[in-house]
């Protein structure tokens, strides 16, 4: 976990997994780099929020794999699901629902599936495409941590790859372009501070 800048209750906190995704950001806002995966994301954000002060909102900027053909560009997520938690079995065992979908923005916005695996096979892509058009490794965890702290959150994802056999190579080749697109989105959609 790395926090760049100071959290303030009158500014958003930008949250990204890795430095490669943050390389073009204007650093006038605080930036939290969590590391990849749900555990790193949730614990880093929860620790930052617990220390306080709470930011005006959390804005997660990051890359995502496209699970369906034709998905590219930058998307503000409407709903996020956790694709690697067997909620149905847990409900059968306990009677409680764990990992329910979270609506965090415009309900007409795209759904993001979050899990702790880098999706890079056609079989996994096809299975997940039934639930969502986009996939990442941190969104659900960050949304859960922010919502539990009663802080609003936006998930903004730029498509880096097709979540298929070439995904790892595509991500490495496109992460700088994605980072630039995410920085442009932030410049156009977040207040500027001096």
Checking if the pLDDT of 42 tops 80, the result is yes
Checking if the pLDDT of 98 tops 80, the result is no
Checking if the pLDDT of 95 tops 80, the result is no
Least confident of 91-95, 112-116, 156-160, 189-193: 91-95
Residue 189 makes CB contacts below 8 A (sequence gap 6+) with none
Q: pLDDT (tens digit, 9 = 90+) per residue, 140-174? A: 999 999 999 999 999 999 999 888 888 788 889 99
Tokens representing residue 21 in the block: 């995704």
pLDDT given at position 162: 86
pLDDT given at position 97: 65
Checking if the pLDDT of 114 tops 90, the result is yes
Using CA atoms, how far residue 30 sits from 4, 6, 10, 35, 56, in Å, is 6, 6, 11, 16, 11
What number is the average pLDDT over the span 114-141?
92
Instruction: Return the higher-pLDDT residue of 54 and 93.
Output: 54
pLDDT given at position 64: 96
Cα 171 to its chain centre, rounded Å, is 15
Q: 2-189: what CATH class?
A: alpha beta
Instruction: Return the higher-pLDDT residue of 1 and 135.
Output: 135
Checking if the pLDDT of 8 tops 80, the result is yes
Please classify residue 131 by burial: count the beta carbons closer than 10 Å to its beta carbon, then call 0-12 exposed, 13-18 middle and 19+ buried: middle
Residue 38 makes CB contacts below 8 A (sequence gap 6+) with 82, 114, 115, 116, 137, 138, 140, 141
Q: pLDDT (tens digit, 9 = 90+) per residue, 9-22? A: 999 999 999 999 99
Residue 150 CA to residue 7 CA, distance in Å, equals 16
pLDDT given at position 94: 72
The residues spanned by each domain of the chain are 2-189
DSSP collapsed to 3 states, the chain: CEEECCCCCCCCEEEECCHHHHCCCCCCCCEEECCCCHHHHHHHHHHHHHHCCCCCCEEEEEEEEECCCCCCCEEECCEEEECCCCHHHHHHHHCCCCCCCEECCCCCCCEEEECCCCCCCHHHHHHHHCCCCEEECCHHHHHHHHHHCCCCEEEEEEEEECCCCCHHHHHHHHHHHHHHHHHHHHHHHCCCCC
Residue 92 makes CB contacts below 8 A (sequence gap 6+) with none
């Amino acid at each position: 976990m790395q926090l760049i800048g100071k959290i303030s209750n009158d500014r958003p906190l930008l949250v990204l997994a890795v430095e490669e995704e943050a390389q073009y950001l204007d650093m006038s806002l605080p930036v939290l780099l969590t590391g990849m995966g749900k555990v790193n994301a949730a614990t880093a954000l929860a620790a930052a929020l617990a220390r306080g002060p709470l930011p005006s909102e959390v804005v997660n900027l990051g890359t995502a794999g496209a699970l369906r053909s034709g998905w590219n560009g930058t998307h503000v997520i409407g709903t996020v699901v956790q694709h690697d938690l067997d909620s149905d079995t847990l409900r059968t065992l306990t009677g409680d629902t764990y990992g329910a979908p979270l609506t965090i923005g415009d309900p007409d916005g795209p759904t993001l599936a979050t899990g702790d695996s880098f999706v890079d096979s056609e079989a996994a892509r096809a299975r997940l495409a039934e639930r969502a058009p986009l996939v990442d490794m941190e969104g659900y965890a960050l949304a859960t941590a922010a919502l539990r702290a009663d802080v609003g959150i936006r998930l903004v994802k730029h498509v880096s790859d097709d979540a298929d056999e070439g995904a790892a190579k595509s991500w490495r080749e496109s992460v700088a372009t994605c980072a630039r697109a995410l920085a442009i989105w932030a410049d156009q959609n977040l207040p500027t501070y001096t």
